[in-house]
A and B are shown apart, each in its own frame.
Chain A
Amino acid sequence: MARRILVAVIAAVLLFLHAMPWIPGQHEPILFGALPITIALWAVWTLAVMATLWWIAYIYDPYAPIVRELDDNTDEDGVAHFNTSQPGETP
């Protein structure tokens, strides 16, 4: 539960940062004279969140077992056949 709350808090903070990268109506510095700070911060948040997604998808990868199972049950025509011994399976 604690981990889920932590994830929810981090997600909310990142969403907030995406929606408000800089204080509205305040003077915004231009980074290196060429890039408004809003866009620079947006780019940083975007890369940070994508790195998180990469970690989830490649390191944690909760879907790995179902993908393996699906690959094992896929025939030469690319059709996957669900294990009919599973409860509730319909023909």
Chain B
Amino acid sequence: MISNTILWAAVILFTVAVVLVGLIAMRKTRNTMDDYVLGGRVLGPVAGFFTVTATLFSAFSYFGITGWFYSDGVGAWHQVSGTVILGFFIYFAGTRIWALGRYYRFINVTDYIGDRYGSPATGGLAGLVMIAALVPYIGAQFRGAGITLTEMSGGSVPFWIGAVFLAAVVVAYVMAGGFRSVVWTDVIQGVVMYVVLIAGAFIIVRAVSGDASTLMTQVQEQDPALLSNPGPNGLFAFPYILSIVLIFSMADFVIPQLHQRWLAARSAMSLKKIAISLAVGTMVVYTCNFFIAMAGRVHLPNLENPETVYPALIAEFLPPVLLILAVIGILAATASTANSTILTIGSMVANDYWRPIQRRRGKMQETNLTTVTRVLLPFIVVASLVIAIWGPPQIVGLIVDITWPAALMVFPAVMGGLYWRRATAAGAASSMIVGILTLLLLTALPIPLAGWAPGIPAVIVAIVTFVAVSLLTRPAPAATVERHFAPFDSIRVVRPRRQTGSTA
């Protein structure tokens, strides 16, 4: 528990800072979807690195991952491997998406799917899957804010007040400044996160054990299984780790709030730098989380809820200035993930569902779309708050079980669209429907999967369905397909030229 003075100082500082950023961003934002939703497509490598990490690292990273290390040991680090594979997806498939976005002005992944398959309905279906997956995820962020304020105030601030407070602040600055306010707050949050986690890990380990070596000895004496896989509860066996690595890397690539960052990159060079730096940044975060969690095992060995280990430790050991920064960091982490996701869902609903209706009525104007996106934001936030307050209790469970596996079912449609000319709208739509149904079935029924997460068999079924239905249905018109493949024909031209050069 921390003093009310420090807590409120942090809350007020955080609110003033983000609202100020929102207002400045509002003055620079033009009333077009390209500008409001993608910041005019000028995202550089440094801002890109921070906004991608801030969008990835949320309440989940502070509470969920530290709690996971605390209860299941060293294996939680495997999620870094997911960002390693994601780096390859960003460079190879992301550069294609980025280039196509430049040519055809796509603003999100569902926009791309609708255009690639010549079927707005297929894009709309992908949108529905994503919205169903992401609303609980935003709820998890608001819950993170609620837990923080409750834990740090020693219970004097009710959980729901923290959740509603963060929701109100986020919706205010996203409505004002759109993508720019999201990215600028992400940069601030990212810097604060790295400073607080690194300094926090050093201070907490030093205070609890003196040094890392003593800490490891103490952990080994308490429960050596914490320092090896599959961990004390047997969770991190080979099939489970491989499942999570594959699910997170593939889903991260197509999940719309991250996908918008690939589209918003200023250049292919920016994208490359993001692809390479992401895993290194993740590695630093997870290593700090590991040491903090192990210090928690030594100092607070019997916590009922492992997700409270991080706030409990920083409240006890961090000096006041760093503590204020830490509280701001946690609030900003939850906000920075929620803000991107809310903006993305708002833009998807406006672009994929509202725009076709208005176009049919002949009333379509670009400025209307940004207004509709803004108006939708509070509704998305209210839906997420309902889940935050009345949803299931574990943040990690919520995200691992719902958000990423559901987003993963869109992966075959995106990759097939990028690399396979024969892919059809029927194949893409059926793969999403069959994949989701399989996922729900495998999650709900007690079917033994030999340690594999349900998302893996479900995505295999989705891929098989995608290929089979695509081959059985009529190919898309050549013009629609070539629109997406012709820009990359020059890749094939380069190879023979290089071979000729080497033999000459």
On A, residues with C-beta under 8 Å from B are: 15, 18-22, 24-28, 30, 32-36, 38-39, 42-43, 45-47, 49-50, 53-54, 56-58, 62-67, 69-70, 74, 78-82, 86-90
In the assembly, what is the distance between CA of A47 and CA of B80, in Å?
11
Additional A-B contacts beyond A18-B84, A46-B84, A50-B276 (18; CB < 8 A): A19-B238, A25-B229, A28-B227, A30-B216, A32-B213, A34-B213, A36-B74, A42-B78, A43-B283, A49-B279, A50-B87, A53-B88, A53-B276, A57-B272, A58-B272, A67-B268, A70-B487, A88-B486
Bound together, the chains give a CA A19 to CA B242 distance in angstroms of 5
Known: A36-B228, A39-B77. A53 touches B91 (CB 8 A): yes
A54 to B175 alpha-carbon distance, docked (Å): 38
Shortest Cβ distance from B446 into chain A, in angstroms? 24
Interface residues in B242-256 by Cβ distance below 8 A to A read 242, 245
Q: How far, in angstroms, from A50 to B491 measured CA to CA in the complex?
A: 23
What's the count of A-B pairs with C-beta under 8 Å?
159
A4 to chain B, nearest CB (A): 13
- Chain A residue at minimal CB-CB distance from B215: A34
Q: Which residues of A contact B87 (CB under 8 A)?
A: 49-50, 53
B366 interfacial contact with A, CB 8 Å: no
Task: Let me know if A74 and B102 touch, CB within 8 A.
Answer: yes
Cβ-defined contact, B228 with A65, below 8 A: no
Given A20-B238, A56-B91, A88-B481, verify A65-B494 contact (CB < 8 Å).
Answer: yes
Q: Across the interface, name the chain A residue whose C-beta is closest to B238.
A: A20
Chain B nearest CB, measured from A90 CB (Å): 5
Q: Does B499 make an interface contact (CB < 8 A)?
A: no
- B444 contacts chain A at the CB level, 8 A cutoff: no
Is B95 close to A, CB under 8 A? yes
Q: Tell whether A46 pairs with B283 under 8 Å between CB atoms, given A54-B276, A82-B487.
A: yes
- Which residue, of A20, A39, A81, has the highest number of chain B Cβ atoms within 10 A? A39
Set of chain A residues within 8 Å of B287, measured between Cβ atoms: 39, 43
Is B346 positioned at the interface, with any CB of A under 8 Å from its CB?
no
Q: Bound complex: CA of A36 vs CA of B290, how far in Å?
A: 10
Contact A89 B84 (CB under 8 A): no
Residues of B contacting A66 with CB < 8 Å? Answer: 99, 487-488, 490-491
Q: Give per-residue flags for B260-290: 1 if the beta carbon is below 8 A from chain A beta carbons, else 0.
A: 0000000110001001100110010001001
> How far, in Å, is B390 (CB) from chain A's closest CB?
36
Pull 16 A–B residue pairs with CB atoms less than 8 Å apart, ordered by A: A15-B85, A18-B78, A18-B81, A28-B227, A30-B213, A33-B212, A42-B78, A65-B494, A66-B491, A67-B95, A70-B99, A79-B105, A80-B102, A80-B103, A86-B482, A86-B487
- For the complex of A and B, the 3 pairs showing the least CB-CB separation, nearest first, are A88-B482, A34-B212, A33-B213
Kindly provide the distance from the CB of B87 to the nearest chain A CB, expressed in whole angstroms: 5
| C-alpha spacing A28/B225, complex, angstroms | 9
Cα-based distance from A45 to B482 in the complex (angstroms): 38
- Across the interface, do A24 and B237 meet the contact criterion of CB distance under 8 Å? yes
| Contact A88–B491 (Cβ < 8 Å) | no
Q: Which B21-56 residues sit within 8 Å CB-CB of chain A?
A: 40-42
User: Which chain B residues numbered 200 to 254 have a C-beta less than 8 Å away from chain A?
Assistant: 211-213, 215-217, 220, 224, 227-230, 236-238, 241-242, 245
In angstroms, how far is the closest chain B Cβ from the Cβ of A77? 9
Given A50-B279, A66-B491, CB of A19 within 8 Å of CB of B478:
no
B486 cross-chain contacts in A, Cβ below 8 A: 82, 86-89
Note all chain A residues with C-beta closer than 8 A to B99. 63, 66-67, 70, 80
- Cβ–Cβ < 8 Å partners of A36 in chain B: 74, 216, 227-228
- Interchain CB contact (< 8 A) of B280 among A46, A80, A90: A46
Does B474 reach chain A (CB closer than 8 Å)? no
Residue among B224, B228, B483 having the largest count of chain A Cβ atoms under 10 Å? B228
| Residues in B79-94 with C-beta less than 8 Å from chain A | 80-81, 84-85, 87-88, 91
Instruction: Kindly report which residue of chain B lies nearest to residue A30, judged by CB atoms.
Output: B216
Residues of B within 8 A of A24 (CB): 228-230, 236-238
Residues from 458 to 484 in B contacting A, C-beta threshold 8 Å:
478-483
Contacts of B224 in A (CB 8 A): 27
Q: Do A57 and B487 have beta carbons less than 8 Å apart?
A: no
Measured CA separation A32–B493 after assembly (Å): 51
Contact, CB under 8 Å: A19 / B78: yes
Given contacts A27-B228, A80-B102, A88-B481, contact A65 B490 (CB under 8 A): yes
Q: How far is the CB of B91 from chain A (nearest CB, A)?
A: 5
| Complex Cα gap A18–B84 (Å) | 10
A46 B482 Cβ-Cβ under 8 A:
no
**Option from A39, A74, A87 in Cβ contact (under 8 Å) with B290:** A39
* Bound form: Cα–Cα A90–B478 in Å: 10
